[in-house]
Amino acid sequence: MDLFTAMHGRRSVRAYLTHPVGRDTIEAVLEAARWAPSGVNMQPWDVAVVSGTTKARLAEAILAARAAGEAERPDYIYYPAQWHEPYKSRRRASGLAMYAALGIGRDDQARRTEVWNANYRFFDAPVGLLFFLDRRLGQGAWLDLGMFMQNVMLAAEGHGLATCPQASIADYPDLVRQALGRSDDAILVAGMALGFPDPDAPVNSYRTERESVEAFARFFE
């Protein structure tokens, strides 16, 4: 697969086949991703690969916390406190497209909750990736990690795999750190589902739109 095909083909997949992903394939994806750029070659990315019993226990712990009404305690704030345009409309369109694909009405709170909780199971993908950063690093390291994560997603495409980057996994970082034996020095930035996409799943049938180049780029000559 060439680079441009991978870039255009990448999408956030929320339903996966049960086919396992071999460790050699996971390592090949990370081998390609590690060539991402970083400021002064810091290479700040720190990745935990979870599967099997570990992934299941982690999901159970988070879902139990949510069922008990425990508040989310992320290490950082991903979304704005108040949404404004054009981001508000883009967010709404994204949600409407997903729920429409699933046939879930606006007032069907039970099914909406079920769909949301699938986040914490990595959408039942066989592999979950967890991305950490050293808390002592500056904001530039977040840019470096973002480029690394994009490399992971593109490399996965090249291996016939699908991904879904997930800020939701970082809602309960203390539970994740406890499950993996990590200290508070490790900020949990995001998770990512990794596996073979289910082509027949309704949730995978839609595609979000992207703005044209003319909408976001200005040229100064």
Q: Quick one: pLDDT at residue 114?
A: 93
Q: Quick one: pLDDT at residue 106?
A: 87
The answer to whether position 100 is within a domain reads yes
The mean predicted confidence, pLDDT, of the chain is 96
Total number of domains in the chain = 1
The stretch 176-201 carries a mean pLDDT of: 97
| C-beta separation of 210 from 20 below 8 A | no
- Model confidence pLDDT, tens digit, residues 193-217: 999 999 999 999 999 999 999 999 9
Q: Quick one: pLDDT at residue 215?
A: 96
The stretch 21-34 carries a mean pLDDT of: 98
d(CA 150, CA 146): 6
Does the pLDDT at position 151 exceed 90? Answer: yes
100-125 burial: b if 16+ Cβ within 10 Å, else e: ebbebeeeeeeebeebeebbbbbbbb
The answer to whether position 201 is within a domain reads yes
The stretch 8-31 carries a mean pLDDT of: 97
The answer to whether position 214 is within a domain reads no
AA identity, residue 190:
A
The stretch 173-181 carries a mean pLDDT of: 97
The answer to whether position 217 is within a domain reads no
The stretch 175-184 carries a mean pLDDT of: 96
- Please, which residues have CB within 8 angstroms of residue 101's CB and are 6 or more apart in sequence? 202, 203, 205, 206
The answer to whether position 104 is within a domain reads yes
d(CA 43, CA 161): 24
AA identity, residue 65:
A
The answer to whether position 91 is within a domain reads yes
CATH number at residue 146: 3.40.109.10
Share above pLDDT 70 across residues of the chain, in percent, rounded to a whole number: 100
The answer to whether position 190 is within a domain reads yes
Domain extent for 91: 3-206
The answer to whether position 218 is within a domain reads no
- Model confidence pLDDT, tens digit, residues 106-146: 889 999 999 999 999 999 999 999 999 999 999 999 999 99
Does the pLDDT at position 1 exceed 90? Answer: no
Q: How many helices (H) and strands (E) does the chain have?
A: 8, 4
- Model confidence pLDDT, tens digit, residues 81-112: 999 999 999 999 999 999 999 999 988 999 99
Kindly state the helix (H) or strand (E) to which residue 28 belongs, with its residue range.
helix 23-33
